[in-house]
Structure 1
């Protein structure tokens, strides 16, 4: 019989030992645990039951659901942890602590990996400390405990450690005591991974387009100022974000009055609707580099508005008739390289939709209250966009007797591959909404930003929009009841700011110098990669030959990593999943590494895979040089 089960003194002693070790490693978190330790654990939770497993170890149950095997808990943990994905993962994340068998096995088997334990209830951890020795876990070099952490903090930590490269270990019984918490966390993790998948696919599809746009825009961008002038420029003025959702129609009649009370930040998709009622917003945001996106403003004029965009935008956007065009920091490596050498611009967050960048611009300006109009992220009344928007106008232009505008809207909603009629998606009055996975991702972005910036109050003006946790709801009358501040608004938006940017002549000189440096860096990287690829074709007969080639490739890799332009290749380089698929298709099966496998066979495979990667890097570098030469930026 395990002595711990019937000896309260031994349980208390083990708990104090674990608490002391925990406090030495995590002094701040230890305060939470000590405050919980003052309570009687058994009285606080009488549905927890510890008992002896068949092999003599301690196991337990929660609400009659086993936390661990009733036969061999440690063996069960080993089977759970020893998988191919866990072996390759950079981090091992535990949803709930259990008694500690899982974390202990991870600490012993993978001491060099990041070990993360998520536990929202301190009492659960105290119960584990009373029946299991956690010493091995606290000795792990990179060990993180997320104790009573809110979900957004957990997501931020997991993103820091690489969510895609993390093995998530979860058991139903470990999370039963906080089922709602872990369910919400699982949903956000899934959405985050979906977002990363979408970003990778988007990068792979549009990388060459963005590169081409940047090369065409580089010369023109030197003449443009940056958004830096507006950073924390006002904390008293309210902002109003105008998106192109159907509910924008309800706000348009009041837009002229709203403009006198709040800074209007309009998305490119909503501009046509605003101009239709004779209102030019203070700012227009354009983020998407595609040609079709440029069509939203192609035939419009807004001489009173300031256009905010990025260097990779479709070139026609930089010819838009407006008061001024200003740039925010580039989202892509080539743009960031040039900005490092010329003028560093402040960045705006990209949450997938142009409205997310509009919101972040308002926050960047120092706004404490941000109203949103037309940010529906759903299809209220089966409508897709506001009247007068480019989408709406196009539907009417191409409509005929067999394909009416209404039919096109219905098709856009129900034939959408990402169509989602989740009953949990509802508006601010609790009514079910039709939406899609893409817009749910956008909603999650706004939710995460509300949690990250609690001092910024975000308000929806439409009760029919998708309810976003963290957003408040207000009637349009509340905004119209604010005092008119037209003079202050114009002073903030349009009066000259003290830019520290160079004069146009100096800026051009810095740009020329940056391009010459870029050409030299790209040429050097090109030669390094060419030599490394050629080295991969060297004929090897002995283990010594293979070892010499691998050693020289390691030195080449070090030179590549040291290159100032190494990140440029990533723009049109396959994402990891795509790279592995290419390798699996073009290379022979990966042999086992020594000692299980033959050294020469394993070395030959690694050299072949290196050659494949070098060829792709070289292709990316060559493409950059081609586009830069095509646009007269390189000689």
Structure 2
């Protein structure tokens, strides 16, 4: 079994976890089976027949469908490998940690009483998780699966096992479905936006800086560790009610606004120290249109639209990239970066990286942690349709809607139309009541809850929710439910050693530190970056101009510039998922037609900015 432990190290956790209540016995046909407190955990007459009946429901599955077996009381269920297609994924889960320990210990014996289990664990893509203690490993495994090879999931239940812990398996099934839905949502998002992220990141390399420059997030790592608290302002409906509290206490915080929340804050006379941008769309400009930005800093992801650094004039730009850590079953980790980041870092050096749950606020939360804050207040973080609204009053959405109002169309009607386009689901509110949420907002809420929980032991962050409305977020403390005028909680003592400072920073200090860093900045030479961008543009243009054997020539270009493969990744995944249906000629036709289209779009957009660099 040592070879199995090498490939699936999470199984070593089962060693020494056996229980005298679970031992090996025999069915009446002589088949080895587990006994729990003297009673068989599966059919005592014909466990093989029982397993065959259960596994019959797995016949006909596609290679891209995941098979999940709930309950491992019958060791014959590991014979599922006989029904699997090459590369197909199968997961067996049981609520009993001691049962997994029994299987592992017995499999180490020379008699090999459970050969199906050993064959199962040696099959690539087949995994087994036992006990509530293994749930973190299971979740990491599911989150690390390549979603492009996933087309569905089928659950099979070993009834004798499931009936012993029905709540465990019901919660497990819900959780697994939610994770896989999230992965599919992430995949669809990447399909839609990866070409956008790639082109924006490459073009923004003209504005990126080296790690020793204030325009690079690396420069600011832990810069404010040990200082006072931070306030993260989102544009949820409850922000309108929270703004008076922020006006009263604004001097006690480093204030970071999500881009959508900037206008409501400025209308109230609150000038944040920074604004965070994550969106790659040009519409982001609407959040800043007509506003004076000279005394604040824009923290921007490198995927932001390249027109923003050209037209906006804040006190400074600080760029970062987004990366997602994926935990593999073998214990390793993989960093999933935004397309274009590797190429940009070859030109400009390492960039500060942030984790993101998909929204501006999730990325901004990790940004504040990166800056060194360990007490973070949240305002406007509703993550629900509070009062059937999505945004606070004063955002650019209301500016646009006000121009649409007429005798027959009210502001309320416009907002209600937006609400009705979403699939609403009930969620628990901060005050214990029920309000409307939706799937996407629930994903963001889950990201916050999981992040706060994961940080609790290694790098705890005190999270305080100022909203008296919106969804309840586990791990956040609400100080204004009982007292709407509650004073800020003092930032707790830090344990960061030599970087620890006293809580002496006020609002002016934060602003001066940020702005003064850019006042002393020396402009960097960008000629090498201009030439590199022009070279990439010329090679893409050459590929687009010549139609002969374009698939082979595209592969050569992807080899030289791996990030550029994002331009055609959606098509490659489509061909991979439908390889049984597509002939070689049809596959090549689909590839070349979509390649031509995506190259043309890339060149049309990039030409507006590449020409400006010459």
The TM-score with structure 1 as length reference comes to 0.74
1:363 deviates by 1.9
1:527 deviates by 9.4
Point out where structure 1 has 5 or more consecutive residues left out of the alignment. 1-17, 43-47, 534-552, 592-604
2:21 to 26, 40, 57: 40
Corresponding position: 1:464 with 2:473: no
1:279 deviates by 1.1
**1:546-565: CA deviation from partner (whole Å, max 9, x where unpaired):** xxxxxxx7xx797566x132
Q: Aligned partners of 1:504, 1:219: CA distance in 2, in Å? A: 12
Q: Aligned partners of 1:630, 1:498: CA distance in 2, in Å? A: 30
1:246-325 matched pairs, under 5 angstroms? 246-318=237-309, 319-325=311-317
Which sits farther off after the overlay, 68-77 or 289-298? 68-77
1:523-538 matched pairs, under 5 angstroms? 530-531=548-549, 533=551
Q: Aligned partners of 1:210, 1:171: CA distance in 2, in Å? A: 40
1:395 deviates by 3.6
SS, match of residue 434 in structure 1: strand
SS, match of residue 376 in structure 2: strand
Corresponding position: 1:73 with 2:73: no
Corresponding position: 1:161 with 2:148: no
SS, match of residue 433 in structure 1: strand
CA RMSD of aligned residues (A): 4.3
Q: Aligned partners of 1:402, 1:578: CA distance in 2, in Å? A: 45
1:444 to 423, 443, 446: 446
1:355-374 matched pairs, under 5 angstroms? 355-374=361-380
Say if 1:307 and 1:322, in contact at 8 Å, map to a contact too. Answer: yes
Corresponding position: 1:187 with 2:174: yes
Aligned length: 561
SS, match of residue 372 in structure 1: strand
2:120 aligned partner? 137
SS, match of residue 317 in structure 2: strand
SS, match of residue 309 in structure 1: strand
1:310 deviates by 3.0
SS, match of residue 496 in structure 1: helix
After superposition, the Cα gap between the structure-2 partners of 1:460 and 1:519, relative to the gap in structure 1 and judged at 3 Å, is: same
1:426 deviates by 0.5
SS, match of residue 264 in structure 1: strand
1:382 deviates by 2.9
2:97 aligned partner? 122
Corresponding position: 1:512 with 2:530: yes
2:397 aligned partner? 391
1:415-430 matched pairs, under 5 angstroms? 415-420=420-425, 422=426, 425-430=427-432
After superposition, the Cα gap between the structure-2 partners of 1:67 and 1:355, relative to the gap in structure 1 and judged at 3 Å, is: farther
Corresponding position: 1:570 with 2:566: yes
2:590 to 612, 616, 619: 612
1:431 deviates by 0.9
Which sits farther off after the overlay, 267-276 or 472-481? 472-481
**1:363-394: CA deviation from partner (whole Å, max 9, x where unpaired):** 22232222211100112233332222223344
Q: Aligned partners of 1:449, 1:360: CA distance in 2, in Å? A: 9
1:599 aligned partner? none
Q: Aligned partners of 1:397, 1:150: CA distance in 2, in Å? A: 55
1:378 aligned partner? 384
Point out where structure 2 has 5 or more consecutive residues left out of the alignment. 107-112, 323-336, 492-502
Q: Aligned partners of 1:201, 1:111: CA distance in 2, in Å? A: 25
Say if 2:297 and 2:316, in contact at 8 Å, map to a contact too. Answer: yes
1:579 deviates by 4.9
1:265 deviates by 1.0
Q: Aligned partners of 2:297, 2:201: CA distance in 1, in Å? A: 21
Larger RCO, structure (CA 8 Å, separation 6 or more): 2
Q: Aligned partners of 1:61, 1:576: CA distance in 2, in Å? A: 49
1:328 aligned partner? 320
Q: Aligned partners of 2:595, 2:225: CA distance in 1, in Å? A: 46
Work out which of the two has the higher radius of gyration on C-alpha atoms and give 1 or 2: 1
After superposition, the Cα gap between the structure-2 partners of 1:80 and 1:231, relative to the gap in structure 1 and judged at 3 Å, is: farther
Say if 1:353 and 1:442, in contact at 8 Å, map to a contact too. Answer: yes
Structure (1/2) with the larger helix percentage: 1
1:110 deviates by 6.2
Corresponding position: 1:170 with 2:155: yes
1:412 deviates by 2.9
After superposition, the Cα gap between the structure-2 partners of 1:149 and 1:340, relative to the gap in structure 1 and judged at 3 Å, is: farther
